[in-house]
Amino acid sequence: MSDGSHRHKVVVIGSGFGGLFGTQALKKADVDVTLIAKTTHHLFQPLLYQVATGILSEGEIAPASRMILRKQPNAEVLLGEVTDIDLENRTVTSHLLERTTVTPYDSLIVAAGADQSYFGNDRFAEFAPGMKTIDDALELRGRILGAFEQAELSDDHEERERLLTFVVIGAGPTGVELAGQIAEMSDNTLKGAFRNIDATEAKVILLDAAPAVLPPMGEKLGNMAAERLRKMGVEIQLNAMVVDVDADGLVVKEKDGTERRIEAQCKVWSAGVAASPLGKIIADQSGAEVDRAGRVKVLPDLTVPGNPNVFVVGDMMAVEGVPGMAQGAIQGSTYAAKAIKNGLKGQSPANREPFKYFDKGSMATISRASAVAKVGKLEFGGFLAWLGWLALHLWYIVGYQNRLVTLMSWAVTFLTNKRGQMTITEQQVYARTALDQIQGGGAYSIPPVHTSSPKAKAKPAVEAKKPADGPEVKAPGAEEQKQSEKAEKAG
């Protein structure tokens, strides 16, 4: 890399769509680019649910960022979680284990993405993991398949029913896609694989506090998706707000204020997102505002007040008409890269053209050979939409090898009902909870699995060792959940 004292330094935070495309857009620019991310990979988040349901491996949708950029000589990759941004001194501070790195910049592109939002009820995460990371997907795969394994060992009807009930919270694209795949896996892939249970009797419930499925895509497509899910046996419960979650189930509050309990060991949360905390750090220093989801209300050129060299893109930016989707991040980051290049040519920030988002539409798959799509004013569903969904997602997977392997995995799954990624491990299921407890200074416990004897407790099918000392993690008490926002990632 060239001598930094004479080269414009661009720091990019995040290795998602915004971070990666922004970095690549600066490939031929006279700049040095430093990409800082807390993971080593570029994650194709819209396909995480296929990792969770055994269709794809994590490597197919999460290639190493360093390998993607290895042929871009003006780019370097640093591993670390960004914990601070100093706008006045133009530095970014990141941490990896015990190492602190401070990186100076001339221009900054912040594309740190979003995390799962539990709307103030973060304790729900222990029992209902989200779907934002590879770790989340692998944990969920372990929870889903582990529930079937536990049910196979049980001789109690009520326990089996609880183990074979799967609840997906959030009826946006991710929730719809995940619910559909759990239903397909139980009805097709796992059919006949067990001797003491019938996998096809598994119950899949899709919950949402909103009155419709797929609200961002409109009533027509929402009804189309709901109808298809119901034909697959998925039970859809709308106007149902989750107010409590524990190891054995959850409590929902109906529109009329009444509450009821659903017994289910396996729950997944896909009800909302919250922007990276870096948004607030930037807003506090620049005077910018943030919305309820923590997104920064940027200026028309995607910068923040008083800092024309700091661009906020993707899930971290609040721009009217721009949804929290991959296309918004891609278009925002490439716009920022272009603005930086124009600045090197002498263009004043005051003369920048405002960012304009081009809506390329949205899609959501429901099951094999069934999807819904909205492109402009055109709304359609079924097999044609499914083919379009496959083609679009295949195109945006990084690397020809990953595309080929993904295509082969899809062919195996959709033509034979077999899935090649059905392995689960103890660490996948329990590592997150254990790490959270260790970092919090306490011990952790594994939720018990009830047997037919009321006094007996059986260990989970995937057994985890419990520390000898330390308090158990108790089930949370009831607390009302705020109304779900509908900003959700779609593929």
Catalytic positions are 177
Distance, CA of 208 to CA of 238 (rounded, Å):
5
Which of 265, 215, 210 is closest to 241 using CA atoms?
A: 210
Q: Is the CA virtual torsion 287, 290, 294, 300 positive or negative? A: negative
- As separate numbers, helices (DSSP H) first and strands (DSSP E) second, the chain gives 13, 23
Residues 121 and 239: beta-carbon distance below 8 Å: no
- Kind and range of the H or E run holding 234: none
Distance, CA of 340 to CA of 331 (rounded, Å):
14
Where residue 390 falls (left for φ over 0; alpha for ψ -120 to 50; beta otherwise) is alpha
Which of 299, 358, 302 is closest to 325 using CA atoms?
A: 358
279: its two tokens: 């948004």
- Kind and range of the H or E run holding 79: strand 75-79
Residues 149 and 461: beta-carbon distance below 8 Å: yes
Which of 44, 46, 86 is closest to 62 using CA atoms?
A: 44
Distance, CA of 80 to CA of 34 (rounded, Å):
12
